[in-house]
Amino acid sequence: MVKQDQNEIPFLYAFIMYVLGLLLFLEWLYPIGQITDTSNMNLFLVYALFCFVISLLQTRWWLSFLLKGFGMLFIIQALFFESSFFSMDWMLYMVDDFQWNVEALFSQRWYELTPLFRSTLFLVLIWLMSYLIHYWFVVVKRILLFVILTFIYLAVLDTFTAYKVGLSIIRPFVLAFIALGLSNFFRVLYDEGIRYAWARKNPRWIIPIIVTVLAASIIGVSAPKFGPQWSDPVPYIQAVTGYGNGSGGTVQKVGYGEDDSRLGGSFVQDDTVVFQAKVNEKHYWRIESKDIYTGKGWERSEELAYMEQTNSLSYNSFSQQVETEALEGEVEFAEPLKIKKLLYPYGTEKVEVDTNVRLLVDEELGEARTQINGKDISLKGYKLQYNHPSFPIELMKESFPNDSGDAEMRKRYLQLPETLPDRVYELAADITSDDYNRYDKVRSVEKYFSRNGFVYQISDVPVPSKDQDYVDQFLFDSQLGYCDNYSTSMVVMLRTLGIPARWVKGFTSGERIERGASTGKEFDVYEVTNKNAHSWVEVYFPKVGWVPFEPTQGFSNLAEFDVSTGTSSTDDTLDAPETETNPQEQQENIKKKEEETAVEASSSATKEKNPFSMNLFVYAGIVMLLGVTFMLYCRRFQLQTAFIERKLMQNPDAQTYQEAYHHLLKLLKRNGIPRDSDQTLREYAKRIDIRYDTDSMGQLTNVYERMLYNNEKNKSTTEITQLWKNLIKRIMG
């Protein structure tokens, strides 16, 4: 039976296949806005749809090039420029930007690549993928590799980044298997020589495909599932490589978490609202503290001893000698909430919760859990009464550095791992060498980071290697990180000096969104998000109790301190800013100023945006390289055919013809028509001619045998080459 040309595929079915390919490709784009700092993702998605439509319409190559090229320029114009399109300033800036990035590429200054250049590369990648998807899904109908890569990509993101696939994995599953079913159906029609008109007249053939895929999806979701049969490999990989706590070696969303055994690694911002607080003062919202430093992170020395409370909080971290102000407040949590613990300000003495809620408090570390019927639950909100403290500086200065309390105090809050490098001890001693009381030593350590070039940063934060101490790496190697780095380092250095200290977690005050005084209401309203999750330091003073300190660069201590008239005016407790600064905003402002400086050297036409991250540029380059490699692999036979054809025309000798004939046999074998071991070449040629309704294979075999056995030279090179080319076209479709 004569095979039909693949170009006979109806437009409707080509359209369906291409749309399925587009939807699968979009699964690669959806996570980008969440796992990187890429903004304006909608524009990139619009450009992807635009490119795919152009490829689907199969316009002439030059028209397609112009349309996609102008589309890319319009996207760049919308993202970066305020000057008119194709103006002189516009073109000069584009040329200058291109020259700058080419120089950066050749000198391997990857992080100096501009946002404009990186975004352009991303748009080019989308452009190329619109062609590749059409080739894979419509032309050659070989989509399995792309499907496998899609699932691997989603699985890696789900495992190692903040992106969680969840039930949305069903979407690419349904798309992929419908596409595979249609692709194989079209291929069977082509191999068997069945006209597509039959499929158009009998559309019921698609029903079994859809029903099978949907049934498999429904069963897969609803059926009971076994738990993991193998242990999770991720902790092992992290342990071997030295990458940490589920936040260590991976990029996680910023927010409160309970596992602090392996600190380090990068975070991405998350503005999800956690709760709103109606209060009169800005202060820390405390959740828990930990006392054992392992060299990699924090753990507890023993299990917490909870005691049930009746709407009161017996835990008090400071003594009665501390002056306080009686205040009230109200907390209302956003949904859904996963924190099943009490968030409270210092000095909380009463919490109004539902009568069926049990309040369990550990009086040593100050952690409070909320339960109903023995099960931890998340509260929707509560009212509280607290005594807001003002810690007396003069009284704290009366504490000596070596006054470490009882044996239990020394055991829990002076603990350090034996592997802590000596240079950490030496640095702490050097920082406080001119101080004589405990308070001054604590303040010297607290101020050390801001005075010595340490940088607040949540991206590209290194993770200590297997044999490297977390604090030692931060103090002497990287000198950049976020609150965990600063607070842990301060606690460890204080402990080397014999000063009891512990690591505390919770939230800062957040952003004030409503002023009570201006609206006639009793309280100010603060909105606290995941990015306000924070860790700080508590230091023990014998006559005062546990006092919070804030070493993190860009943050100010939210606790109040009582500065008596006898205090030296040089004490810079009062130097701290009255309002909490946002280190992320500081870092963004620094980057923005650097970009402005670079722009002024060439043009002021660009907008100060960074819609694309460096990490995505690297990933895009890898995907582009894989795509081009795969395209070349898929077209290897076409390329080899063109190469042999050229040789036939230039050098039509016996050796070249023999190479061409062997290439023909290889293509036939690849197309599912191999030569049997007991078949002669003439028998095989007759079989091929019957299959393709031609006599070309017989003629080519006759020439091949005469040239091979009789050493005859072919005189009609052009005719034989044309027969060879025509047969190749039939075989390759």
pLDDT given at position 196: 60
pLDDT given at position 495: 92
**Stretch 530-544: mean pLDDT:** 90
Instruction: Tell me how far apart the alpha carbons of residues 262 and 248 are, in angstroms, rounded to a whole number.
Output: 6
Structural element, H or E, at residue 287? strand 285-290
pLDDT given at position 496: 93
CA–CA distances in Å: residue 459 to residues 386, 480, 482, 643:
37, 10, 9, 49
pLDDT given at position 36: 64
pLDDT given at position 307: 79
CA–CA distances in Å: residue 259 to residues 284, 293, 413, 708:
21, 13, 20, 75
Please report the DSSP string for 348-359 in residue order: EEEEE--TT-EE
- Burial string for 325-355 (b: 16+ CB within 10 Å, else e) reads eebebbbebeeeeebebbbbbbbbbebebee
User: Residue 489 — pLDDT band, cuts 50, 70, 90?
Assistant: very high
> What are the pLDDT digits (tens) for 400-414?
767 666 777 778 889
User: Residue 620 — pLDDT band, cuts 50, 70, 90?
Assistant: low
Instruction: Tell me how far apart the alpha carbons of residues 326 and 386 are, in angstroms, rounded to a whole number.
Output: 6
Residue with tokens 């101490």: 469
Give residue limits of the domains in the chain. Answer: 6-223, 268-603, 636-732
Whether residue 89 contacts residue 13, with contact meaning beta carbons closer than 8 Å, is answered with: no
pLDDT given at position 197: 60
- Bridge partners for 484 per DSSP: none
Among the ranges given (69-73, 160-164, 503-507), the one the predictor scored with the smallest mean pLDDT:
160-164
The DSSP 8-state label assigned to residue 341 in this structure reads B
pLDDT given at position 424: 93
- Cβ neighbours of 546 (radius 10 Å): 22
Helical H runs in 161-275? 170-192, 196-201, 206-222, 233-241
Cβ within 8 Å of residue 72, ≥6 positions away: 47, 120, 123, 124, 127
> What are the pLDDT digits (tens) for 281-339?
888 989 888 889 999 899 888 777 777 777 677 677 888 888 888 898 898 888 656 67
pLDDT given at position 247: 40
> What are the pLDDT digits (tens) for 58-107?
778 888 889 998 888 888 888 777 667 777 878 888 888 888 888 878 87
Q: Would the pLDDT of 153 be above 60?
A: yes
Instruction: Tell me how far apart the alpha carbons of residues 631 and 634 are, in angstroms, rounded to a whole number.
Output: 5
Residue 405 tokens read as: 């309390």
Average pLDDT, the chain: 77
Residue 6 tokens read as: 């693949």
Instruction: Tell me how far apart the alpha carbons of residues 496 and 475 are, in angstroms, rounded to a whole number.
Output: 14
